[in-house]
Homo-oligomer: A and B are copies of this chain.
Amino acid sequence: MAVQTKVSFKTDAKPWWCPGCGDFAVLAALQRAATQLGLRPENVVLVAGIGCSGKIGDYFGSYNIHVLHGRTMPVAQGIKLANRNLTVIAASGDGDGYGIGLNHFIHAVRRNIDLTYIVMDNHIYGLTKGQYSPTSEKKFRTVTSPAGVYEQPIQPLVLALAAGATFVAQGFSSNVNQLTDLIMKAIRHKGFSLVNVLSPCVTFNKVNTYDFFRANLVDVADGGGHDPHDRTAAMRRITETGGLVTGLLYEEEGPSFQDYIPGYPETPLTEAKIDLPTSEWDKILKEHFG
């Protein structure tokens, strides 16, 4: 086989995002991470949701599946179970992932199938033109909250930890280097990994802007370091900062779902021989139904 050179994971498509959208940086970081990890495009599947964020698949040169609104998680798990050799990455928006798709997220966390989940969290519904999202802050005024939001926002990092996540990180679109690093770590992590990315929507969110995040974000290691294996500390850091913290908050090594499945073969199910001799079926017929 020819020597494989590193690939850039770029495509010809011109992104449909608004100029300045935070999602450009997420794409760039993901491309860099995949390149630096030396992944092959054919062995990566990017599962994207519906939203501005969900367009990311169009611009990332791997196998791509752009699913239904809120349904990245089950599809990603189906893919990984079907072919354990693939690198499976899911990408959602905050509405997609923490609104309509939250249940799948929590259950994916506890199932701990080996995949990486990147959520582009802009605290708004971008593609549907600016309704508030589950992560929108209280009092935020939008077309569907003309008097301001009154729900308590979802805290994705806290929820992920509460659900037993084995890898929780948060990045910011303005820090592509850190984000690249977090995504690389997440992909390397055996099990479910969440990378929540604060990725500003420059068109509809005039509150949680680049400037807002620059002014308010701290690094998890700021002020004395952080042990990413300490769940309690992670929880405390998140609470202290009101969620405005970036870096690797928590990681726990251990077996993932695949390691437990009885009889689950080392070779991918895609390679399983299915046309077994009919004697096999006769055996079942006799044993179970005779």
Q: How far is the CA of A153 from the CA of B162 in the complex (A)?
A: 11
Q: Bits for A239-277, please: 1 = Cβ < 8 Å to B, else 0.
A: 000000000000000000100111000000000000000
Interface size class of A (residues with CB under 8 A): 20 to 34
Indicate if A134 sits at the interface (CB-CB under 8 A).
yes
| Copies in the assembly, this chain | 2
Q: How far is the CA of A155 from the CA of B109 in the complex (A)?
A: 12
Q: Which chain B residues border A152 with CB–CB below 8 Å?
A: 109-112, 163-164
Tell me whether B102 and A106 are in contact (CB under 8 A). Answer: yes
Listed by A's residue number, 15 A-B pairs whose Cβ atoms lie within 8 Å are A100-B103, A102-B103, A106-B159, A107-B134, A107-B151, A110-B134, A110-B151, A110-B154, A112-B152, A150-B257, A155-B164, A159-B163, A161-B162, A162-B162, A235-B235
| Beta-carbon nearest neighbor of A163 in chain B | B159
User: Which among A100, A150, A260 has the greatest number of chain B C-beta atoms within 10 A?
Assistant: A150
A141 to chain B, nearest CB (A): 11
A9 to chain B, nearest CB (A): 32
- 13 new A-B contacts, CB < 8 A, other than A102-B107, A107-B151, are A102-B102, A106-B106, A109-B152, A110-B152, A110-B154, A111-B152, A147-B262, A150-B260, A150-B261, A155-B164, A158-B162, A159-B159, A159-B163
List A residues 124-163 near B (Cβ within 8 Å): 134, 146-147, 150-155, 158-159, 161-163
Q: Given A159-B163, A162-B162, A262-B147, does the pair A153, B103 have CB atoms closer than 8 Å?
A: no
